[in-house]
C-alpha cells in the first residue's frame, strides 16, 4: 500500500468553497427580484454584465499568474464579488461604470493581493468606493420612482460616456433626501420618496428581501449570527437615541434599518470571511463598530449610505480586533494556577 503524504485537513466534509459561494448567490435572488420589480430591469442587466466582466478579468489574471484557470473559476468567488457590487449600483448605471468597478475589484483588490483568501479588503466594496469617489453623481442618483419603462432604463444602461436618459430617470435616495431636509418638517412631508411603510418608498421591501436571504444563510450555517446582529444593533441603538432627542433632525431606527444597503451590508458584505474579524468576540465588536460608523457617516458625513466606507475601515481594523480578542489557549488557566500553587 502506497503511503499518502498530504497536508491537513485529512477528514473533509461535503461543503467546499464553491458550494458556499453558490449559497450566497442563491440568497441574493430575492433582493435582486425586488430591485428589478421596483426599479426596473437595469439591476438585472448590471448583474449579468458584472458577472461576465468578473469572470473574464479573473481568467486573465489567473493566466498572467500561471494558475489553473478552470480550477480557480469554479470556486465562484469572482461571481459573488460581481453580484454584490452590481446589486449596490444604481439600476441606470451605464455599462462602462459597472465595467470599471468590477475590473478594479477583481484585478486590484483581489488578484494583485494573491487571490481568494489573501485580500485584506472586501473586493466588491473597494470597487464600489472607487466608483463612488470617481463618479459621485452617477453613483448617488437612483431612479426616483418605480417601476420605469424598460426602454428608458435600457437607454441609460447602454449609453456611452454621455448622460443619455440618466438625468430624466434619476433622483436622490431616501437617505440622501432625509439628510438634505432634516429638521424641516414641511419639506420632509412633501418628499414622497420618504413615505414608505417603515422606511424609504420601496426600499423597505428591498431590505426585507435581503433580510430573508440573510436568514437563509444563517439557517444553512454559511454565516454566523455575530456580525449581522452586532451590525444591526450598532446602527439601531444610536439612531434610537438620537431620534428620541430630536425626531425631526434624526431618522428613526426603522428608517435606517430598512433604507439603503443595510441588510445587504449586514448579511452579505460585512460577513466576508476573509476580510472580517474571526474570533467570536471580535466579530461582535467588528459588526457593532460598522453599524455605529454607518450611522455617524449617514448623519454627519458627506455620503448618503456609508456601508462601503464603514466596512472597509473595519477591514483595516480586523487584524487589530482579532489580536486583542483571541480566545485563551486551552489549559492556560490551569497551568497558571499550577505555577502559583
10 Å CB burial of residue 162 (0-12, 13-18, 19+) is: exposed
Give the SS3 label for residue 328.
coil
Instruction: Mark out the alpha helices in 40-144 (DSSP H runs).
Output: 42-64, 69-73, 77-88, 95-107, 123-134, 136-140
Q: Which three cell numbers stand for residue 309?
A: 466606507
Number of Cβ within 10 Å of residue 119's Cβ equals 23
Q: Does the pLDDT value for residue 164 go beyond 90?
A: no
Q: Dihedral of the CA atoms 61, 66, 67, 70 (nearest 10)?
A: 80
CA pair distance 67, 248, nearest whole angstrom: 56
Structure confidence by residue, pLDDT tens digits, 280-335: 999 999 999 999 999 999 999 877 778 999 999 999 999 999 999 987 766 555 44
Averaged pLDDT, 86-108: 93
CA pair distance 250, 61, nearest whole angstrom: 46
Q: DSSP letters along 194-222, please? A: G-SSSSSTTHHHHHHHHHHHHHHHHHTTS
User: Which is more confidently placed, 334 or 49?
Assistant: 49
Q: What pLDDT was estimated at residue 150?
A: 46
Q: What pLDDT was estimated at residue 231?
A: 97
Direct distance between the N- and C-terminal alpha carbons of the chain, in angstroms, rounded to an integer: 52
Q: Does the pLDDT value for residue 189 go beyond 90?
A: no
Name the percent of the chain lying above pLDDT 70: 77
| Lowest mean pLDDT, pick from 16-20, 25-29, 86-90, 287-291 | 16-20
Spatial contact of 224 and 283, defined as CB atoms under 8 Å apart: yes
Give the SS3 label for residue 143.
strand
| Lowest mean pLDDT, pick from 143-147, 165-169, 211-215 | 165-169
Q: How confident is the model at residue 251 (pLDDT cuts 50, 70, 90)?
A: confident
Q: Does the pLDDT value for residue 219 go beyond 70?
A: yes
CA pair distance 228, 290, nearest whole angstrom: 10
Q: Does the pLDDT value for residue 264 go beyond 90?
A: yes
Averaged pLDDT, 264-268: 96
Q: Does the pLDDT value for residue 18 go beyond 90?
A: no
Instruction: Mark out the alpha helices in 135-173 (DSSP H runs).
Output: 136-140, 150-157, 166-169
CA pair distance 172, 303, nearest whole angstrom: 12
| Lowest mean pLDDT, pick from 88-92, 160-164, 220-224, 282-286 | 160-164
Q: What pLDDT was estimated at residue 151?
A: 46
CA pair distance 273, 227, nearest whole angstrom: 11
Looking at every residue in the chain, the average pLDDT score rounds to 83
Q: Which three cell numbers stand for residue 169?
A: 430617470
CA pair distance 200, 135, nearest whole angstrom: 24
Amino acid at each position: 500500500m502506497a503511503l499518502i503524504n498530504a497536508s491537513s485537513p485529512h477528514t473533509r466534509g461535503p461543503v467546499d468553497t464553491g458550494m458556499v459561494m453558490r449559497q450566497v448567490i442563491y440568497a441574493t435572488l430575492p433582493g435582486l427580484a425586488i430591485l428589478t420589480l421596483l426599479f426596473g430591469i437595469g439591476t438585472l442587466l448590471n448583474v449579468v454584465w458584472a458577472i461576465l466582466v468578473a469572470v473574464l478579468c479573473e481568467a486573465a489574471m489567473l493566466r498572467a499568474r500561471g494558475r489553473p484557470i478552470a480550477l480557480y473559476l469554479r470556486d465562484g468567488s469572482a461571481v459573488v464579488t460581481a453580484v454584490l457590487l452590481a446589486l449596490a449600483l444604481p439600476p441606470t448605471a451605464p455599462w462602462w461604470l459597472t465595467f470599471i468597478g468590477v475590473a478594479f475589484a477583481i484585478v486590484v483588490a483581489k488578484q494583485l493581493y494573491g487571490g481568494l483568501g489573501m485580500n485584506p479588503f472586501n473586493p466588491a466594496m473597494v470597487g464600489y468606493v472607487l466608483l463612488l469617489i470617481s463618479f459621485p453623481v452617477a453613483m448617488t442618483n437612483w431612479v426616483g420612482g418605480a417601476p420605469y419603462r424598460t426602454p428608458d432604463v435600457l437607454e441609460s444602461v447602454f449609453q456611452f460616456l454621455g448622460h443619455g436618459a440618466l438625468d430624466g430617470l434619476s433622483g436622490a435616495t431616501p437617505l440622501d433626501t432625509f439628510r438634505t431636509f432634516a429638521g424641516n418638517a414641511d419639506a420632509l412631508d412633501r418628499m414622497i420618496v420618504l413615505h414608505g411603510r417603515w422606511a424609504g418608498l420601496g426600499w423597505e421591501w428591498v431590505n426585507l428581501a435581503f433580510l430573508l436571504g440573510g436568514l437563509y444563510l444563517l439557517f444553512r450555517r454559511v454565516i454566523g449570527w455575530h456580525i449581522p446582529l452586532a451590525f444591526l444593533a450598532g446602527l439601531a441603538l444610536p439612531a434610537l437615541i438620537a431620534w428620541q432627542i430630536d425626531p425631526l433632525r434624526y431618522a428613526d431606527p426603522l428608517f435606517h434599518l430598512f433604507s439603503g444597503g443595510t441588510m445587504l451590508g449586514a448579511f452579505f458584505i460585512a460577513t466576508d470571511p476573509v476580510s472580517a474579524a474571526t474570533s467570536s468576540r471580535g466579530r461582535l465588536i467588528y459588526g457593532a463598530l460598522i453599524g455605529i460608523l454607518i450611522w455617524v457617516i449617514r448623519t454627519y458625513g458627506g455620503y448618503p449610505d456609508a456601508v462601503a466606507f464603514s466596512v472597509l475601515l473595519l477591514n483595516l481594523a480586523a487584524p487589530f480586533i482579532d489580536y486583542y480578542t483571541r480566545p485563551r489557549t486551552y489549559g492556560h488557566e490551569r497551568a497558571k494556577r499550577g505555577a502559583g500553587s
